[in-house]
Amino acid sequence: MTDRTSARARRRPQRYLPMQILLGFLVIYFLVPFWWVIVNSSKDSPGLFGGDNTLWFTDKVDYFGNLQELFTYGGGIYGRWILNSTLYALAGGIGATILAVMAGYGFAKYRFAARRFSFAIVLGALMVPATALVIPTFIMFSRLGLTNTIWAVILPSLLNPFGVYLMHVYARDAVPDEILDAARVDGAGEVRTFFQIALPLMRPAVVTVLLLSAVASWNNYFLPLAMLSDNRLFPVTVGLGLWQGVASANNAGGTSLWSLIIMGALVSVIPLIIAFFSLQRYWRGGLSVGGLR
């Protein structure tokens, strides 16, 4: 038995070696662009356009100088763009998560008229690209007088069909009906049962939907580009796109602006990294198993 066990242990690394090599290439593929942004955000204009090695640092590393110039250029408009993106991500992410949690829990645990038809509409909405809805949404909001306002970005971000589907699947499996029935027998109402029993069991999925919704709102580009005309309301994605257009139009005069664009791209990624690392500890499952036992 010992020889067979050792033989199986020797075969396992060979079996998973192609997958490990593939994963290694994927890690490199995704990390190289991020490394390029980290390296080139430390360079000034001569180092950015005059150096041959774009994947390594030059003799002059000036993160603080580029960072100071980034937040002072154009009257400090970049700081306003970051605040706008934070507002859109928080409002859109939290609002979309609340609606997705309530809708997914309702579809999973309640029986009502046209439940299957309503959920089929939600599944059909998953097939429609979000960019395809931007122009109809713009026409509707323009008739309501909401274009060029923060509501033109926040309100469409509240709808997250994938979040509803994810919460429905998770609530159906992670929240046993026996626990809910026991809470009702003990005299707990539906609201108390949801907040004290069901919601803690759905916490991993809630955090997942919150992250996905907030990241989607933070990275949203086409919707605010179509809805907003005042650059003071732009999120950081549209703002950097505006600078990129100016730098591309002014070939020689826009060289200093390219270094600010790269530094701005690096700064815009930092809040997402902080959000992922701060919320990943909440991704724990298996609570319902302990509740049943």
The pLDDT > 70 percentage for the chain reads 88
Angle, helices 115-126/161-174, rounded to nearest 10 degrees: 130
**Domain termination site, one of 13, 39, 66:** 66
Give the pLDDT score at 5. Answer: 54
Higher pLDDT, 25 or 48: 25
Give the pLDDT score at 293. Answer: 39
| Contact assessment for residue 41 and residue 54, using Cβ atoms and an 8 Å cutoff | no
| pLDDT tens readout for residues 48-103 | 776 566 778 877 888 898 899 999 998 999 999 999 999 999 999 999 999 999 99
Asked if residue 105 and residue 8 are part of one domain, the reply reads no
pLDDT of residue 46 exceeding 80, the answer is no
Residue 134 structure tokens: 């931007």
**Domain termination site, one of 66, 82, 109:** 66
Give the pLDDT score at 43. Answer: 83
Asked if residue 90 and residue 51 are part of one domain, the reply reads no
Lowest average pLDDT, out of 30-39, 95-104, 107-116, 274-283, goes to 274-283
- Please choose, from the candidates 94, 70, 47, the residue with its C-alpha nearest in 3D space to the C-alpha of residue 267: 70
The average confidence (pLDDT) of the chain is: 86
Asked if residue 280 and residue 256 are part of one domain, the reply reads yes
Asked if residue 225 and residue 125 are part of one domain, the reply reads yes
**Calpha distance 141→138 (Å, rounded):** 5
Burial 94-106 (b: 16+ CB within 10 A, else e): ebbbbbbbebbbb
Q: How confident is the model at residue 40 (pLDDT cuts 50, 70, 90)?
A: confident
Higher pLDDT, 6 or 237: 237
User: Domain range spanning residue 242?
Assistant: 74-292
For residue 96, give the CATH number of its domain: 1.10.3720.10
Give the pLDDT score at 239. Answer: 96
Q: What is the mean pLDDT of residues 241-259?
A: 78
CA-angle at 115, arms to 112 and 121, nearest 5°: 155
Asked if residue 134 and residue 16 are part of one domain, the reply reads no
Q: How many domains does the chain have?
A: 2
Asked if residue 187 and residue 247 are part of one domain, the reply reads yes
pLDDT of residue 289 exceeding 80, the answer is no
| Contact assessment for residue 115 and residue 168, using Cβ atoms and an 8 Å cutoff | no
Asked if residue 118 and residue 60 are part of one domain, the reply reads no
| Contact assessment for residue 136 and residue 76, using Cβ atoms and an 8 Å cutoff | no
**Calpha distance 236→120 (Å, rounded):** 35
pLDDT of residue 6 exceeding 70, the answer is no
| pLDDT tens readout for residues 138-160 | 999 999 999 999 999 999 999 99
Q: How confident is the model at residue 12 (pLDDT cuts 50, 70, 90)?
A: low
Asked if residue 220 and residue 273 are part of one domain, the reply reads yes
Asked if residue 165 and residue 53 are part of one domain, the reply reads no
Asked if residue 95 and residue 58 are part of one domain, the reply reads no
- Please choose, from the candidates 169, 181, 191, the residue with its C-alpha nearest in 3D space to the C-alpha of residue 108: 169
Give the pLDDT score at 11. Answer: 53
Give the pLDDT score at 13. Answer: 57
Asked if residue 87 and residue 38 are part of one domain, the reply reads no
Lowest average pLDDT, out of 171-180, 233-242, 282-291, goes to 282-291
* Half-sphere CA count of 212, side-chain side, radius 13 A: 17
Give the pLDDT score at 288. Answer: 41
**Calpha distance 25→223 (Å, rounded):** 33
**Domain termination site, one of 38, 66, 94:** 66
The reported pTM is 0.86
Q: How confident is the model at residue 251 (pLDDT cuts 50, 70, 90)?
A: low
Asked if residue 57 and residue 190 are part of one domain, the reply reads no
Give the pLDDT score at 10. Answer: 55
**Calpha distance 160→89 (Å, rounded):** 13
Give the pLDDT score at 286. Answer: 40
Higher pLDDT, 15 or 7: 15
| pLDDT tens readout for residues 150-204 | 999 999 999 999 999 999 999 998 899 999 999 999 888 999 999 999 999 899 8
